[in-house]
Copies of this chain bind each other. A is one copy, B any other.
Amino acid sequence: MLGIDPGTRVVGFGVVDLRGGAICHVVHGTVRAPRDEPLPARLATIRAGLEQVLRSQAPAVVVLEGLFYARNVKSVLTLAHARGVALEVAASFELPVMEYSPMELKRSLVGYGRATKLQVARMVQRLLGLADEPSPDAGDALALAICHLHADRLRSLRGAAMRRSR
């Protein structure tokens, strides 16, 4: 389960796994594109970095936040460029891409949809038993991966319950 939090300067990523029914932290980090480089070069740096993560971690699923409509159209438009690159590189590895809204993400992690970024990062740290609080970008990426793991587990449980009740 690889979560990606795309940006045009910093892209967060986080990998979690299910081992013996427990959520385990595998790795998290960021891909950073030099601030003074033009957008195309930054996007190429981001793709190369994500390609390396995908190659080394070989996740089964990639998880991103759904596209949301922020107030600042210009910054969302720039962000969509990086998001396009992240979706493309995931598909080039023939991986399914799952999307969760910021609201679903927060509700799944913290219990309510209006949780702050800090609350999410702290919950990620606690759930994974990390010594340090992850950076906001890597924290969001880990949160996405955890969120999908939860949703996936719920689906399996529901499936099993359905089979039992037949």
Contacts and interface: CB of A to CB of B under 8 A. Distances in A.
Interface of A: 38-41, 43-44, 46-48, 67, 69, 73-74, 76-78, 80-85, 87-88, 90-92, 97
Per DSSP, chain A at the interface is: helix
Contacts of A78: 67, 80
Q: How many copies does the complex hold?
A: 2
Given A44-B91, A73-B73, 20 more contacts: A39-B87, A40-B87, A40-B88, A40-B91, A40-B97, A43-B88, A47-B88, A48-B92, A67-B78, A69-B73, A69-B74, A69-B77, A77-B80, A78-B80, A80-B80, A80-B81, A81-B81, A83-B84, A85-B88, A88-B88
Contacts of A82: 84
A148 B41 CA distance: 20
